[in-house]
């Protein structure tokens, strides 16, 4: 397989302060926000910049990241930030968009302050939701719906500290 390289540039950054979260979009991309606020949720593609070292990208096997999971799991079967290409995806609610300043207000995102945002896409149930999903036994007790995740004890599921 031929090795190809691509250049990606952030369209904005995650900002968080005092429990409030927002995505700040770079000025050149402000026109792309038009009509985004007609969707209640968006998919945020972000770069795990804190785990983008050469060794981080070589982690292909995770040592039991989930308490009830198997002793080893391939990175593609996890949501780990340690990946060959550290791309992450989070679906978030859109609270409000300040179009003039390019600020998307969101209730929460599992990304750090200053995380580069690579792209946004509207969450579309006819494309993003799947009816008959199967998951391994060790995670079948996880919430079925996004809205139920907020009250779920995620800390008790992982073998590492947040």
Show the 3-state SS of 43-84.
Answer: EEEEECHHHCCCCHHHCCEEECCECCCCCEEEHHHCCCCCCC
- Confidence band (pLDDT; 50, 70, 90) for 16? very high
Whether the per-residue pLDDT at 161 is higher than 60: the answer is no
What is the CATH topology of the domain spanning 12-53+85-123? Answer: Elongation Factor Tu (Ef-tu); domain 3 (2.40.30)
Q: Is-contact 119 45, C-beta < 8 A?
A: yes
pLDDT, one tens digit per residue, over 85-121 is 999 999 999 999 999 999 999 999 999 999 999 999 9
pLDDT of residue 160: 74
Q: Tell me what the mean pLDDT of segment 60-76 comes to.
A: 93
- Confidence band (pLDDT; 50, 70, 90) for 134? very high
Which tokens go with 58?
């070589």
Whether the per-residue pLDDT at 46 is higher than 70: the answer is yes
Whether the per-residue pLDDT at 45 is higher than 90: the answer is yes
């Amino acid at each position: 397989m031929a090795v190809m390289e691509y250049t990606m540039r952030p369209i904005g950054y995650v900002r968080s302060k005092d429990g409030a979260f927002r995505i700040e979009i770079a000025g050149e991309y402000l026109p792309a926000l038009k009509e985004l606020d007609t969707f209640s949720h968006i998919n945020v593609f972000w770069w795990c910049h804190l785990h983008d070292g050469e060794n981080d990208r070589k982690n292909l096997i995770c040592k039991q990241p989930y308490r009830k999971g198997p002793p080893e799991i391939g990175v593609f079967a996890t949501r780990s930030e340690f990946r060959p290409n550290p791309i992450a995806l989070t679906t978030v609610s859109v609270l409000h968009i300040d179009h003039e300043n390019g600020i998307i207000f969101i209730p929460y995102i599992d990304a750090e302050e200053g995380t580069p945002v690579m792209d946004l896409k509207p969450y579309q149930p006819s494309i993003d939701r799947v009816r008959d999903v199967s998951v391994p036994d060790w995670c079948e007790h996880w919430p079925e719906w996004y809205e139920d995740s907020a009250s779920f004890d995620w800390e008790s599921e992982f073998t590492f500290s947040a």
